[in-house]
Structure 1
Amino acid sequence: MTKTVRSSFLSNMKATCKINSPGPMQLSPKTVSAHINRLISRWPSDPVRPSSVSVQTYLKTRLPTSSPSATTQSQSQSQIQSQSQSQSQQPQLSSSSINALYSLLENRYEKQYPLPQNLRHPRSAPSHYDDVLREFSEAPGRGWVKRMMEKVKGVLRFQ
């Protein structure tokens, strides 16, 4: 009895989700590439975060590659096989993932769920988050001496 219920459930799921047929959830590699390139160009760079772990670097690894050209034919067979294995291990971004990246880029959630003012400016330290933002904007331009002075001031807590 359970086998019959399970098989009918799976057949209903396949019919409703259209698992084996290309649908709106599967984008062509050309479309995915266009969306990723648009996201890379519009995504703001973070001066504090190293470029090796930036969103742009991650998105560049998810770009679908084209077919091998004449220049890549000169590569050894082992290099081509290792590249194809690494590409098969990295799944292509789905349309829902691309939509989530666009929603983060456009601040949809910040607009939909705004923070109350007492959360942004708590009574105990009203300027705390503004100071953190100022510190992040100043940090990339500091020299070595200025960084060391800030560390010492943080340890000794001058007021």
Structure 2
Amino acid sequence: MANPQTLAKHYARLLSLWPKDALRPNLPFTKTIEYRALAFGLKPETAAESTKTTDVKKTAAPYKPGDARVELANVNALFLLLEDKFKRKHLLPPEALKPTSNPGHYDRLMEEIERAPKKSWWSAKVDEWKMKIRWK
């Protein structure tokens, strides 16, 4: 059975290991993890620097944890996500990422996602306008 201190340590470890979201820095998943951790006594100082505890407290109702076993299962599921366990267990066949109608779609999509955080406001707007015009 997990006690609140153990759960708080698990949440603190998750917050320290969780990757930063470069695409949406204003909506990090770590805010959700921190919100859950606050109910177990995790101090805001030990939380990830990218999240603001005050924002979490102001925008959401206080989290009331239920059964400790269920909460521990939730923490374990987050660790499995962090380790890409499900991605490795359920591999996609290569054809799924290369549809015959548009084989380069997912490659271009990943390139765009990697470029997006580095774009200036102007280049993002130009790209948005380009998508609204049919070039054929």
Shift of 1:153: 1.1
The answer on whether the counterparts of 2:23 and 2:116 sit within 8 Å (CA) in structure 1 is yes
Pairs within 5 Å for 1:10-29: 24=1, 27-29=2-4
The one-letter code sitting in structure 2 at the alignment partner of 1:95 is: L
The answer on whether the counterparts of 2:97 and 2:106 sit within 8 Å (CA) in structure 1 is yes
* Unaligned residue ranges in structure 2 (runs of 5+): 43-60
Pairs within 5 Å for 1:68-147: 87=62, 89-91=63-65, 94-147=71-124
Q: Could you say which structure has the larger radius of gyration?
A: 1
Question: Which of 29, 40, 60 is the equivalent residue of 1:55?
Answer: 29
Aligned length: 113
Q: Aligned Cα RMSD in Å?
A: 1.9
> Residues of 1 paired with 2:95 and 2:12: CA distance?
39
Question: Which of 32, 41, 55 is the equivalent residue of 2:16?
Answer: 41
Report % sequence identity.
Answer: 29
> What's the counterpart of residue 151 of structure 1?
128
> Residues of 2 paired with 1:122 and 1:45: CA distance?
30
Shift of 1:142: 1.0
The one-letter code sitting in structure 2 at the alignment partner of 1:58 is: T
> Residues of 2 paired with 1:157 and 1:150: CA distance?
13
Q: Which moved further from structure 2: 92-101 or 38-47? A: 92-101
* Unaligned residue ranges in structure 1 (runs of 5+): 1-23, 67-85
| TM-score where L is the length of structure 1 | 0.64
Question: Which of 30, 41, 44 is the equivalent residue of 1:65?
Answer: 41
> Residues of 1 paired with 2:88 and 2:104: CA distance?
22
Q: Any idea what the Cα deviations from partners look like across 1:53-111, whole Å, max 9, x if unmatched?
A: 32211111122227xxxxxxxxxxxxxxxxxxx54x43267111011101111111111
> Residues of 1 paired with 2:134 and 2:20: CA distance?
32
What SS does the aligned partner of 1:30 have? helix
4+ runs deviating over 3 angstroms:
none
